[in-house]
Amino acid sequence: MGLLQTSLDELDKQILKLVQFNCRLSFAELSRELDVAEATVRFRVNRLVEEGVITRFAALLDPAKVGMKVSGAILLKIDPAYLDEACRKLVAFSETQYLFQSTGEYDVVSVIVARDMNHLNELVKNTKLIAGVKDARVSVTTRFLKFDPSIVL
């Protein structure tokens, strides 16, 4: 995952706005909506995928409705010598929704979902067992207020 920014023109941004909210739109539907040739839309979407601007097409699920009734954040202090390997292990947890390396008191913030408190406790235990983890603070969410992975362009 590179830090290079891709140059996006207005058509790219319009395509991204549409597919971000409905990735099931066909090239023909995008073409009609944007009043642009279907071949142009196909080329642009494929380029955006190849350049890593679009990382994948996915349906957003309500965690509670698929059995993941508990969510939370684990704030981690990790020995710098183990940071990369610890992050690889945290990324591999299927319950990890977001993983951020951060500045400040904690090195990594892991946002997770779990079936129940027992499952959450098991995830926390497995996290603490990762080599290099020096401290793990857990904060369980009590109310779902907003989940919006879209980016305003």
Residues 46 and 78 occupy one common structural domain: no
CB 113 within 8 A of CB 95: yes
pTM (predicted TM-score): 0.81
Residues 130 and 100 occupy one common structural domain: yes
37 CB-near residues (< 8 Å, 6+ apart): 31
Confidence (pLDDT) at 99 = 97
Percent of the chain with pLDDT over 70: 97
Give domain status of residue 147, yes or no.
no
Closest CA to 136 of 51, 45, 92, 74: 74
CB 149 within 8 A of CB 20: no
Residues 136 and 69 occupy one common structural domain: yes
CATH number assigned to the domain comprising residue 30:
1.10.10.10
pLDDT tens for 1-44 read 445 677 899 999 999 999 999 999 999 999 999 999 999 999 99
Q: Which amino acid is at 89?
A: K
CATH number assigned to the domain comprising residue 99:
3.30.70.920
Q: Where are any strands of DSSP class E within the chain?
A: 70-78, 96-101, 108-114, 133-140
Length of the chain: 153
Confidence (pLDDT) at 1 = 41
21 CB-near residues (< 8 Å, 6+ apart): 150
Residues 88 and 46 occupy one common structural domain: no
Neighbours of 16 (CB within 10 A): 19
Between residues 1 and 107, which one has the greater pLDDT? 107
Residues 92 and 134 occupy one common structural domain: yes
What total of structural domains would you count in the chain?
Answer: 2
Where in the sequence is the domain holding 15, given as residue range(s)?
10-50
Residue 102: pLDDT above 60? yes
Residue 53 tokens read as: 């601007």
Percent of the chain with pLDDT over 90: 85
Residue 84: pLDDT above 70? yes
Residues 67 and 41 occupy one common structural domain: no
What is the CA angle 40-45-46, rounded to 5? 100
Mean pLDDT score of the chain: 94
Residue 122: pLDDT above 60? yes
Residues 41 and 91 occupy one common structural domain: no
Residues 123 and 67 occupy one common structural domain: yes
